[in-house]
Amino acid sequence: MRGQKRHSVNRGFTLLELVIASLILGVVAVGALGYQYHARRMALRARAEITAARTGRMVLDNWKRTGGDENFDLTALQMGFVKNPSTNTYAITVDDQKLTVTLDWQDIEVDTAAMVTLREIAAVVRWRSDYQTGAIRESDPIYRIHTYVRKEEAGG
């Protein structure tokens, strides 16, 4: 028996191989969960930005029809805007997204000879980055959209 080689046939996995495979699987699972969380947050952000852009555009389109009248009131549109009595800010919920809209305007140029006033009108739309109710914080996102209007065109 001295010259014979022993052949051992191993079937299955060793404990070390199972531990290494489990660790690799765990790392991959944690990475996939992190990616899924990040993708969900980015989808919420994109949806909020699209909602803010559409709301801002709708506000400016309606305000522009008045020639940028400084007394423009979003509640008159009867679309769900609620005015904060102490500021020029309105609250609205669009697609389950709570937004605040602030109106801003300034006369850019006045041509007294032609009796024309160029006015910049702007809608500033904000929402909470945690998508909850409550006061807007300084760190929350902001979307500002503006356009120009000849104040006299609509009698504003």
Q: How far apart are CA 18 and CA 146, in angstroms?
A: 61
Sketch the domain layout of the chain as residue ranges. Answer: 50-154
**Is residue 156 pLDDT above 60, yes or no?**
no
Would you give the end-to-end CA distance of the chain in angstroms? 111
Could you report the per-residue pLDDT of 18-61, keeping only the tens digit for each? 899 999 999 888 888 888 888 988 998 999 999 999 999 999 99
How far apart, in Å, are the Cα atoms of 17 and each of 12, 75, 84, 102, 153? 10, 68, 65, 62, 79
Q: Give yes or no for a contact between 88 and 102, defined as CB atoms under 8 angstroms apart.
A: yes
Average pLDDT, the chain: 87
- What would the pLDDT profile of 104-119 be if each residue is shown by its tens digit? 999 988 888 888 889 9
d(CA 104, CA 153): 19
pTM for this predicted structure:
0.73
pLDDT in tens, 120-132: 999 999 999 888 8
